[in-house]
Amino acid sequence: MELNYARRGDFMIKKEMIAMLLAGGQGSRLGVLTSNLAKPAVAFGGKYKIIDFPLSNCINSGVDTVGVLTQYRPLRLNQHIGIGIPWDLDRNIGGVTVLPPYEKSNNSEWYTGTANAIYQNLEFIDYYNPDYVLILSGDHIYKMDYEHMLEYHKSCNADITLATYEVPWEEASRFGVVIADDNGVISEFEEKPANPRSNKASMGIYIFSWKVLREALVALKDQPECDFGKHVIPYCHGNGKKVCAYDFKGYWKDVGTLGSYWEANMELVDIIPEFNLYEEFWKIYTKSDAIPPQYIDASGKVSRCIIGEGTEIYGDVENSVIGSCVTIGEGAVIRNSIIMNGVTIGDGAVIDKAIIAENVEVGKNAHLGVGEEAVNEMKPAVYAFGLVTIGENSVIPDGVSIGKNTAIYGKTEPSDYPDGALKSGGSIIKAGE
C-alpha cells in the first residue's frame, strides 16, 4: 500500500516529528532483573513496564510514529510491544516499528553506540520524511508532552533541543550538565564535572531538526561507538548549530540502579504521589492480559500499597507495590517490597525490602531481608541499598532465611542454603549465562 502512495504522486508520506526510542541497553546495574531481558522491559509500578512511559508519552503527545531500537535480549520487549495495540500505535502509516540491528552486504555490525544505532536506520527515518526527530531512551519514569518541547524548539529556532532537569547541586557531578544563558541557548557541556557550574542535567531526550541530525550522522559515520552525548552534540555545537535547553519541571526519575528503581516504586504508594498514575488526561498504557478484580481475604490486610489485577491477598501487605496475578499466602507479611506479576508467596513467609521479579515462587515460612547489612561479595556496587533481589522464575525453598544485599536467580534447592540461610552479601546464581 505504501508503495502505491509513493508512486501515485498525489500523496507523500510526511510526519512532522517521529520518535526513535533507544531500548537496546542491558542496564547491568539492575543485576538479575535484566539477566534475561532489556531494561525497558523491566516491570514498574505493579502492572507497567519501564518502556510504557515513553511510549505512552509519545501517543499522548501526538507522536504516532516510533522506531524502537532493540539489541540486548529483545524477546520480552518484542512480545510486549507487538504491533503496538495497547498504545494505539498500530497504524496504517507510522505506528511502532521494532528496529533490531541487521546484516548488510558489507560492514555488518551491532549497534555500537546510541547515534550509530540511529545512523543504521537512516532509511527508516527518511521514509517518513520528518522535519524533526525526537530521541528518547527507554529507562526513565516521567510524563512529558513532547509537543510542548517541539513548540519550544521551534520558537527558539534551535537546531537541537535538549531536555534538562534541575538536580540538587550536590548530585550535579553525577550527570552531564549544560551551561545555558537566559534564553536557554547552551554555551557549554560538562560531563560529570567535579565542580559543576550548573545543575541543569541533560535527561537524554533530544529534538533534532532532521537535516542537522542527518548531516551529523553521515559525517560521523566512521566514528567508533558514535554516541549522542559524546560525539553528535559536540560536533553540531562545534559547527555553530544552535543548541537549546528545554527546562523540564515535572517528575522525572532515572531508574538505572536497584536503589533508585526501588525508591521510585515506593513513591507510588504515597498518599498523593508526586508521580500520579490516576490522572485521566495523561494515561499510561500497557499490554495487560489480566482483567479479573483483585481479592482481599478476611485473613488479609492491606495498607499503603498498590495492587494489580487478579491478585489474591491472604496475608499482610504494607508499603509495597504488588503486580497482577500474584498470590500472597496466609500469614505472609510483605513490607517495603516490589512484587511483580505472577509471583506466589507461600504461607507464613516474611519479606522485607525485596524486589521479586515475575513468576517467582517463594516457599512457606521463608524469611527475606533479615539481619544486618553486609557488602555484596559478587557485585558490591549493584546489590547494595539493603535490598534482596530475586530474578524471574526463581524458586526459593520453604523455610530458608535470606539476608540483605543479596541476589538470587534460578531454581534454588534447600542444599543451596548452608544451615538454611543465605547470609547478607551472598548470592546464588543458577540461571542465565
Among 73, 304, 364, 430, the residue binding another protein under the rule CB under 8 A is 304
Please list every residue from 43 through 82 that binds another protein, using CB under 8 A. Answer: 45-47
CB of 288 to another protein, least distance (A): 6
Residue 304: CB partners within 8 Å, gap ≥ 6?
A: 269, 318, 319, 320
Residue closer to another protein by CB (options 78, 288) is 288
Angle at 186 between CA 181 and CA 192, to 5 degrees: 110
Is 307 an interacting residue with respect to another protein (CB under 8 A)?
yes
On whether the CB atoms of residues 286 and 86 are closer than 8 A, the answer is: yes
Which residue matches cell numbers 516529528? Answer: 17
Among 30, 207, 322, 387, the residue binding another protein under the rule CB under 8 A is 322
| Interface stretch with another protein, choices 136-144, 160-168, 187-195, 307-315 (CB under 8 A) | 307-315
- The CA distance from 383 to 405, in Å, is 5
Residue closer to another protein by CB (options 90, 191) is 90
Quick note: the x/- pattern for another protein over 79-118, rule CB under 8 A, is ------xx--------------------------------
Among 26, 294, 365, 393, the residue binding another protein under the rule CB under 8 A is 294
Q: Phi then psi for 316, rounded to 5 degrees? A: -115, 120
Q: Are strands 200-209 and 132-137 parallel, antiparallel or unpaired?
A: antiparallel
Is 306 an interacting residue with respect to another protein (CB under 8 A)?
yes
Among 27, 101, 130, 310, the residue binding another protein under the rule CB under 8 A is 310
Is 269 an interacting residue with respect to another protein (CB under 8 A)?
yes
CB of 330 to another protein, least distance (A): 12
- The CA distance from 329 to 120, in Å, is 50
On whether the CB atoms of residues 393 and 407 are closer than 8 A, the answer is: no
SS3 336: coil
Q: Which amino acid is present at 85?
A: I
Burial class (CB in 10 A: 0-12, 13-18, 19+), 286: buried
Residue 4: CB partners within 8 Å, gap ≥ 6?
A: none
| Interface stretch with another protein, choices 132-140, 167-175, 309-317, 373-381 (CB under 8 A) | 309-317
Is 267 an interacting residue with respect to another protein (CB under 8 A)?
no
SS3 2: helix
- The CA distance from 410 to 397, in Å, is 11
Q: How many residues bind another protein (CB under 8 A)?
A: 39
Residue closer to another protein by CB (options 64, 159) is 64
Residue closer to another protein by CB (options 100, 300) is 300
E strand or H helix at 305, and its extent?
strand 301-307
Among 115, 117, 158, 284, the residue binding another protein under the rule CB under 8 A is 284
Grid cell at residue 384:
547494595
Quick note: the x/- pattern for another protein over 244-263, rule CB under 8 A, is --------------------
Beta strands in 336-430 (DSSP E): 338-339, 344-345, 350-352, 354-356, 361-362, 367-370, 388-390, 395-396, 401-403, 406-409, 421-422, 427-429
Residue closer to another protein by CB (options 65, 311) is 311
Please list every residue from 16 through 45 that binds another protein, using CB under 8 A. Answer: 45
CB atoms within 10 A of CB 29: 18
Residue closer to another protein by CB (options 162, 355) is 355
Task: Give the bridge partners for 252, in sequence order.
Answer: 142
CB of 58 to another protein, least distance (A): 15
Is 390 an interacting residue with respect to another protein (CB under 8 A)?
no
Residue closer to another protein by CB (options 302, 368) is 302
Residues that bind another protein (CB under 8 A): 45-47, 85-86, 269, 271, 277-278, 283-286, 288-289, 291-298, 300-310, 312, 321-324
